[in-house]
Amino acid sequence: MKIRRYMANNTQEAILKVKMDLGSDALIINTRKVKKKGLKGLFSKPMVEVLAAVDEYNVHQEGKSGDQESAENAVSDGPIMLSKNAVNSDEKEEKIARLENKILSIEETVRRLSLQLNAEDPSAAKVMTEQKNQVSRIADIFYKNLIKNEVEPDIARKLIDTAVSMTSADKGVNDIAMRLYAMISELLGQPDTIHLKENGKPTVVVFVGPTGVGKTTTMAKIAASFLLTRNKTVGLITADTYRIAAVEQLKTYAEILGIPVSVVYTPSEMKDAMNLHADKDLVLIDTAGRSHKNKEQINELRELIMASNADEIYLVLSTTTSTRSCRDIIESYSFLKDYKLIFTKTDETPVYGLMLNVRYLTGKNLSYITTGQSVPDDIETANVEKITKNLIGSYTR
């Protein structure tokens, strides 16, 4: 008897694989749905697993030598050719019936052994129930922690359910925590910051985002960091002419740092401004906040970015913003093909759930986070380990 396992996207596909491999005489023993392993399986559709069997006597062996037959039998995963004349219909039915009886007998034996064990040790079933309840209680604690840290409920539930499904009943808080930690870390991904070119040309970086999130200050921090700690030349451009205060603020930072700054009012002026900074290692461009309801402003921003020929774009968001508002903001910049995420004002909130939510919603890489108003000190590369621990750990309002 040859028994094999097949995986497919649906039952029809699995049955087709069985017939192609084992032939029409194959017997389906069992079918079930299974999830893929790892984080990818968290949100993917379950696969169908089919266990099938065929009697070895039905394998066509005519005209083969003993060595050939032994070699083919050794390759258990190879295709099998069934002989329609090997046995008659009655013999087939009889063998199928015997196989079904054997399976039923095995199932009955397992059932009796289980009943016997529970009868001999009634506490065994109780212990297992208590262990399952303990895992459930631990999972509930972690779920509440994620919600308190403002992780979206549907994201939190998927993470917890997956962690529990991967944890045996006799495991405790540490095992669930380790699995949850690994999944959240993988979901956050590795941070991706500014990469300077090596061909002598400036790396052009554009910052976009709503008004009030701290784009100008963040840009100044990055400029100071590259200038002071990496000894790179930096040029600044601002297109945020809707707010006079933003222009003056950037000019003040530029004067303190001793770096040039240009102001552009229209996309057509961007090319001239870029030429003025052609000898710099890094050019940072500030933009005004745009409403997704104002098509004229969105089109102007798109033209500004195109005129800058930006190498990298960063969407700046405040961690004090709600996930609901962030959905609207993300929609406002949906015309951007690619960008990275900067989160500001982490010193103003004890919870980091928004970072996980936005990363899940956009699939874009994390980069920097800001931790205060001080230039250039209060900025750092996103620490995935720190964020993950914050999300899993407790938080009391």
Task: State whether 141 and 229 are in the same domain.
Answer: no
CA distance 330 to 332: 5
Indicate if 81 and 140 belong to the same structural domain: no
User: Would you say residue 49 lies in a domain?
Assistant: yes
Please check whether residue 329 is in contact with residue 321, taking contact to mean a CB–CB distance below 8 angstroms: yes
Q: Within a domain: residue 365?
A: yes
Residues 208 and 345 in one domain: yes
Q: Is residue 97 part of a domain?
A: no
pLDDT of residue 13: 79
pLDDT at 68: 42
Give the three-state DSSP class for 36.
coil
**Residue where a domain stops, chosen among 61, 87, 113:** 87
Task: Specify the amino acid at residue 26.
Answer: A
Q: What's the confidence (pLDDT) of residue 1?
A: 60
Query: For residue 128, is pLDDT > 50?
Result: yes
Q: Confirm whether 127 is domain-assigned.
A: no
Rounded to 5°, the CA angle 70-21-40 comes to 115
238 and 368 share a domain?
yes
Q: What is the pLDDT of residue 158?
A: 92
Across the range 218-238, mean pLDDT stands at 93
Query: Does residue 394 fall inside a structural domain?
Result: no
Residue 260 and residue 284 in one domain:
yes
pLDDT greater at residue 359 or residue 3: 359
Q: Whole-angstrom Cα distance, residue 221 to residue 377?
A: 7
Work out the mean pLDDT of the chain and round it to a whole number. Answer: 79
Domain that holds residue 163: 132-188
Model pLDDT, residue 370 = 93
Which residues partner with 344 through β-bridges?
318
Q: What angle do CA 23, 29, 35 make, to 5 degrees?
A: 105
Asked if residue 249 and residue 147 are part of one domain, the reply reads no
Asked whether residue 229 falls in the same domain as residue 346, the answer is yes
- Count up the domains in the chain and report the number: 3
Model pLDDT for residues 262-283, shown as the tens digit of each residue: 999 888 899 899 999 999 999 9
**Same domain, yes or no, for 184 and 216?**
no
* HSE-CB of 342 using CA atoms within 13 angstroms: 29
- In three-state secondary structure terms, 134 is helix
Answer yes or no: do 174 and 248 share one domain.
no
- 216 and 310 part of one domain: yes
Same domain flag for 184 and 266: no
Asked if residue 303 and residue 179 are part of one domain, the reply reads no
Whether the predicted model's global pTM rises above the 0.75 cut: no
Record the tokens describing residue 280, joined without a space: 């710099």
Would residue 15 count as lying in a domain? yes
Question: What SS3 state is found at 315?
Answer: strand
String of DSSP letters for 208-246: E--TTS-HHHHHHHHHHHHHHTS---EEEEE--TT-HHH
As a whole number of angstroms, the distance between CA 316 and CA 341 comes to 6
Q: Which residue has the higher pLDDT, 309 or 5?
A: 309
Asked whether the bond before 267 is cis by omega within 30 degrees of 0, the reply is no
Using alpha carbons, select from 368, 322, 369, 377 the residue that is nearest to residue 347.
369
Residues 38-90: tens digit of each pLDDT: 555 556 677 888 877 776 655 444 344 444 443 344 333 444 344 444 445 55
Q: What is the mean pLDDT of residues 192-216?
A: 91
Contact 240, 263 (CB under 8 A): no
